[in-house]
Structure 1
Amino acid sequence: MPVRTILDALRGGLVVSCQAPPGDPLHGPRFMTAMALAAANGGAVGIRAEGIDDLRAIRAEVELPLIGLWKVGREGVYITPTPEHAAAVAATGADIVAVDATRRPRPGGHALEEVIGAVHASGRLAMADVADLDDALASLDAGADVVSTTLSGYVGGAPRPDGPDLGLVARIADRVSAPVFAEGRVSTPDQARRALDAGAFAVVVGTAITAPGAITTAFARALRP
């Protein structure tokens, strides 16, 4: 899909993140593909998914723009951390490859430019998952095509906000011309709408839509004496 067509398809819409970690009953390509199809039927304009097998399966069944990533471990820079991981994600057919674009040391000593370069060499767009404005500016200097607030509240010692970091969305959107995706703790349709009003190009929602275990926990907790 041409770059402009991909971005036009995503503009102003909902991207649904379909991810289930090992140990979750929904883990695996079969379930995540079904989740992606359900999201597409519900009006999502794009899918974000993790893992080579899940990405290949979703790409074979879902025509929407696909944002792919590969989580390697759970500490430090683990979202598509190296050029090799980026190239592997691109090879699944994902239209956009998401990478950790925080200013932390990367595995193998790779620079962010190398990871983004591997994405571009595969003919894909690079999404920078950032934690703050400085990350966003540095990632665009490194060649990223789009920015997402995915890691706000998860890097550094600052308290994690209860809801989406709409202030960060606004600050980045005010400083850059690249598309800014609002992602992280978007839990309600009203928050999604407010993210667009704050300057987001599109909104990514995961847990509130595709994590029935977490949703059930929230309801069960609210009913406890």
Structure 2
Amino acid sequence: MEFGNRLIVSCQDRTDWTIPMAVHGGAGGLRVNGVDDVKFARSVRENIPLVACWKKDIPGVQVRITPQIDMMQGLFRAGATFVAFDATQRRRLHSVASMVAAARRWSGMCVADVSTVDEGCDAWEAGADIVATTLFPVFDLEAIRRLATCGIRVMAEGNIRTPEQARQCLEAGADLVCVGSAITRPHEVTKWFLAALSKGM
């Protein structure tokens, strides 16, 4: 399933209103967390593409974005189009290749969340359908450009605060742009404006 357009809205806070509002606003897809929100998003619009993850802290494991294979299965069963998982080099229960293989067993697609260009290249070679810059520490157009140059299908995500930055991601080669707080968390946006207005005063 392709996305309705290139904007994916990450709705992982106050989803009772952020999911319907993102759909109403015309998002081409949603990124959601957990089985319940997958089901809720499907009830709002049955055919909207969903990138789903399942965040959980596990003792001794550094990965918290869909750390277990059975979580992936649960998300697909609930109606996820893609399942996103941490594909970094952090201590993990299952290899990136094992996570990709699990998605294939359930005829699903996966998004690899990475924090470096090398991790993105490795995840793509392991078979990920999309590589997302979710875990990069800063907004990094050069990283998007390098990933796209390698022929990787890239979803720009993380620290995208303005429509101008979103457009820059596409110009750098991203196929999709996922925006969260700048759309769904007005309290955070309020802080950004206050910080900007207070500079030099």
Superposition TM-score, scaled by structure 2 size: 0.90
Aligned to 1:171: 146
Aligned to 1:29: none
Identity, % of aligned positions: 38
User: Among residues 73, 96, 100, which one is paired with 1:116 in the alignment?
Assistant: 100
CA deviation profile, 1:54-96 (whole Å, cap 9, x unmatched): 1111122223111000011297211011211111111110101
Preserved contact between residue 10 and residue 202 of structure 1 (Cα < 8 Å): no
User: Among residues 159, 179, 182, which one is paired with 1:205 in the alignment?
Assistant: 179
CA deviation profile, 1:185-204 (whole Å, cap 9, x unmatched): 01000000010000000100
User: Among residues 54, 73, 76, which one is paired with 2:57 in the alignment?
Assistant: 73
**What CA distance in whole angstroms lies between the structure 2 residues aligned with 1:143 and 1:92?**
23
The Cα shift of 1:33 comes to 4.3
Preserved contact between residue 33 and residue 61 of structure 1 (Cα < 8 Å): no
**What CA distance in whole angstroms lies between the structure 1 residues aligned with 2:48 and 2:38?**
12
Aligned to 2:115: 131
Preserved contact between residue 4 and residue 27 of structure 2 (Cα < 8 Å): no
Between the two proteins, the alignment pairs up a number of residues equal to 196
The Cα shift of 1:34 comes to 2.8
User: Among residues 92, 96, 104, which one is paired with 1:106 in the alignment?
Assistant: 92
Consecutive unaligned residues of structure 2, counting only runs of 5 or more, are none
Superposition TM-score, scaled by structure 1 size: 0.81
Alignment of 1:1-225 (within 5 A): 6-7=1-2, 9-10=3-4, 13-20=6-13, 26=14, 32-62=15-45, 63-73=47-57, 76-107=62-93, 110-153=94-137, 161=138, 164-176=139-151, 178-222=152-196
Preserved contact between residue 102 and residue 135 of structure 1 (Cα < 8 Å): yes
**What CA distance in whole angstroms lies between the structure 1 residues aligned with 2:189 and 2:99?**
34
The SS at the match of 2:156 is strand
The Cα shift of 1:216 comes to 2.4
**What CA distance in whole angstroms lies between the structure 2 residues aligned with 1:205 and 1:222?**
20
What is the identity, as a one-letter code, of the residue corresponding to 1:17?
S
What is the identity, as a one-letter code, of the residue corresponding to 2:124?
L
**What CA distance in whole angstroms lies between the structure 2 residues aligned with 1:137 and 1:149?**
12
The Cα shift of 1:15 comes to 0.4
What is the identity, as a one-letter code, of the residue corresponding to 1:69?
C
The Cα shift of 1:50 comes to 0.6
Preserved contact between residue 170 and residue 199 of structure 1 (Cα < 8 Å): yes
Which stretches of structure 1, 4 residues or longer, exceed 3 Å deviation after superposition? Answer: 219-225
**What CA distance in whole angstroms lies between the structure 2 residues aligned with 1:34 and 1:211?**
11
Alpha-carbon distance change, 10 to 129 in structure 1, aligned in 2, over 3 angstroms: farther
